[in-house]
Structure formats: C-alpha cells, structure tokens
Amino acid sequence: MRGDCWPVAPRVASAARMKEKNGEHPLGDSGQLVLLGLFLSVWAADSFFLRKSTFLSHHIPLLLRLIVLAGVLVLAFFLYRSGHAVVSHGARPAGLVSTDAFKYVRHPLYLASMLFYVGLAVSTASLLSLALVAVAFTFYDYIARYEERLLVAKLGKAYEDYMERTGRWIPRVRTRERTETRV
C-alpha cells in the first residue's frame, strides 16, 4: 500500500474535524447541496410538469409573484455578496465579523439561500416547494445553532454580545431608548 493512501473513514473524520475547527458543521456543505438539488428538482417538477400544488397561481397575479421574486432575489444577492466577501478571501477572519450583512443578521449566507428558495416557491405558487422551504429552514437553523455554540466557545463574550445585538435570521430593531441605556 502506498504511503499517500489512507482509508476513507479517517479522511472523512479528519475533514469533519477541520470544518469544526473553522466554525462550521461537518455536514453543512454537503447538506446544503443535497437541499439545493432536492428543492430545485421538486420545484421544477411541481411548477412546470406535475402542477400538483400550484393551484394558487390562478388566484395570485403573475406580476405580483414576479415582483416578490425580484425583491427577494435582490435581497438574497445582497446578503450573499456581502457575506461571501468576508468568508471567502483566502484565510477566514480570526475574530468577530460584524460588518456588512453580518451587521444585520448572524447568518447572511444561510438566509440568502432560504430567500432564494422562498422566491422561487412564491414565483410559481408551489405549495410543495414552500413545504421544502420549511425543511430547509429547519436544517439551516440547526446548522446555525451548532456553529453559534462553536463561536461562543471560540470568541466568548464578544460573540455573546453580538448575538444579543444581532438577530439570527431577522434584523433586530433598536429602539432609541434601548441604545441610550447601553451608552
């Protein structure tokens, strides 16, 4: 046996440990790809071929659905570009990132993915696709909570304060009274 060949299981376990050290769930990337493939398959099949759960499309004007799709996709694109610019440049930041989209939500890349799913499901009024959005949300929420535990362990109080200031999925509205009492 050559020296560069390792059994598959240790490689997978090693990759999982590396991802965990980077603050990610070991199955996060593969889970997202499976969800994307499943969602796009179900959405396309239901929206364009089977039409089993798209009966609402006859009652909701197409223009309204397309306006919602455009708005959601613009927001998803902003979150994706802003969030991805931070985490994709070579080495990941060592400390807390609370700029750009991370200033508003703690998981802008995951939120962008969910908004993409919502936009497509609403554009064709596919109830089956909307049900998959609920599954996707459950998955992303699980992954986000897992990663937040790792980040609290790594960054401590700084991340706990960030969690208090910033919503996981929905931006927190700061009232004047609340910000004045902290200053």
Q: Under a CB-based contact definition with an 8 Å cutoff, are residues 96 and 158 in contact?
A: yes
**85 or 110, higher pLDDT:** 110
- The span from the CA of 150 to the CA of 106, in Å, is 14
pLDDT, position 94: 74
Report the number of distinct structural domains present in the chain: 1
18 in a structural domain: no
112 in a structural domain: yes
Q: Is the pLDDT of residue 10 over 60?
A: no
Residue 165: give its domain's CATH number.
Answer: 1.20.120.1630
Write the Ramachandran bin of 6: left for phi over 0, alpha for psi from -120 to 50, otherwise beta.
Answer: beta
20 in a structural domain: no
Whole-prediction pTM value?
0.83
Strand pairing partners for 105? 167
Spatial CB neighbours of 140, under 8 Å, sequence gap ≥ 6: 107, 110, 111, 113, 114
For 122-149, how does the pLDDT look when each residue is reduced to its tens digit (9 = 90+)?
999 999 999 999 999 999 999 999 999 9
15 in a structural domain: no
Q: Tell me which residue range forms the domain holding 162.
A: 31-182
